[in-house]
Structure 1
Amino acid sequence: MSDVVLNRTSLRAAAFPAYPGIAIANVRLVDSQALCGEALDVLMAADVIGFDSESKPTFRQGEASTGPHLVQLATETRAYLFQVSRLPGIDELKAILESPRLLKVGFGLGNDRSALRSRLGIEIDKVLDLGEVLRGPGHRGTVGAKVAVAHFFAQTLQKSRKIGTSNWATARLSERQQLYAANDAHVALQIYRAWAASGSGALPE
């Protein structure tokens, strides 16, 4: 399949329709043992899942992050949001993330991996950072989800900075927070599927 040659300027300028994202009805807040069990069964039955995490932002110089406060994992049809402070235990989350069989895909995962290791003792296995693998020789830095969505789907991924920097440690996540977090994991999986099917390798500059 031939590459779709798009550069960053054309991606920013194009009037693409909005990326639809996952529906709130397909998002699960994992805050009970029953939902931990459901998430484990559903996610471990997949071959690949989308992955991301969120942390409450820090605003003072020298302030250390206490995150991650939320871990998002998604299949094609469902997203599970693990609120770290409300989990009855981390055994299920640890089993999923440390599985050597299950591929976890996402964007900009360096901080996610180190934070999970230092706070929860979770060593993520078999993970693919799409921001790295989609970076062509002409790109500076990693490729973001917005560029990848425009490239593969000719759509605009809408991300609210206000929601992205909101309080992810709160016990009651708003619907907008839930959708933002769920879509970070879900869109990564959709992009991975499109990239794998295209065989196009890195994105052109």
Structure 2
Amino acid sequence: MTQTRQLSRDEIKTLPLFPTLGMNQITVVGREQLAGALHALRTAKVAGFDTESRPTFHKGEAATGPHLIQLATMEHGYLFPVSDREVLAALGELMASGDVLLVGFDLRSDKRHLRDRFGIECTALLDVGTLFSSDSPTITVGAVQAVARVFGCYFRKSKKLSTSNWGAKVFSEAQQVYAANDAWVALRVYHALRPDA
């Protein structure tokens, strides 16, 4: 059973690093990779889920994200740039079908933005943070806290990468690793908490 106590940032940083997906386990999905990616996700039945958006830099500037949708199986991370409308349409059908349970952390804004910008209704979503008991009702459990509690490891997230340009035409290797693991770690935690799922 996982502990309910909120671990401090300093405590978490003393833990061993959580092993993550490498570049050989990540695919940026274009039209050539689309069928294989969708097949892998449908077969998995449960997928880690997250989105990334290009940050806004000026007061009053309208947010235009998400710019990237990430889904992950236990073996692989799939990155779907929203700039390819054919890829986005096929992915939207999958996400709206309810055939694959999408699991992630703090998904309210992801769900709203996908609906408002692209008309994608995600019908099977689970916020993994809600699976945790907590010693305070005001505490939200995110990915870093969840990995520390469940695996006794430090899932290091880069602030610099989180606020990088997710609207770019080409993503750096560091961006790909960051984005894929954001989705993948949610799936890892979900399966650890629901081993029979």
TM-score, normalised via structure 1 length:
0.89
Contact preservation (8 Å) 1:37, 1:92: no
Distance 2:47 2:192 in 1: 14
Distance 1:34 1:87 in 2: 14
Structure 2 stretches of 5 or more lacking a match? none
Aligned residue identity for 1:20: P
Report the more deviating stretch, 69-78 or 10-19.
10-19
Distance 2:7 2:131 in 1: 21
Match of 2:109 among 108, 111, 116: 111
Residue-by-residue CA offset, 1:141-198 (whole Å, 9 max, x unaligned): 4211111101110100000000000000001100000000000000000000011139
Post-superposition shift, 1:22?
Answer: 0.7
Post-superposition shift, 1:135?
Answer: 5.1
User: Which aligned pairs between 1:25-36 and structure 2 lie closer than 5 A?
Assistant: 25-31=24-30, 33-36=31-34
- The answer to whether the aligner puts 1:179 opposite 2:177 as a matched pair is yes
User: Which aligned pairs between 1:1-205 and structure 2 lie closer than 5 A?
Assistant: 3-5=1-3, 7-9=5-7, 12-14=10-12, 15-31=14-30, 33-134=31-132, 136=134, 138-197=136-195
Residue-by-residue CA offset, 1:54-91 (whole Å, 9 max, x unaligned): 00001222211111100000000011100111353423
Corresponding residue SS for 2:97: coil
Residue-by-residue CA offset, 1:89-121 (whole Å, 9 max, x unaligned): 423211221122311000011111111111111
Contact preservation (8 Å) 1:49, 1:189: yes
Residue-by-residue CA offset, 1:1-28 (whole Å, 9 max, x unaligned): xx24362246642521101111110100
Corresponding residue SS for 1:90: helix
Distance 1:79 1:56 in 2: 20
Structure 1 stretches of 5 or more lacking a match? 199-205
Contact preservation (8 Å) 2:4, 2:134: no
Structural RMSD (CA): 1.9
Corresponding residue SS for 1:116: helix
TM-score, normalised via structure 2 length:
0.92
Distance 1:162 1:83 in 2: 20
Contact preservation (8 Å) 2:7, 2:145: no
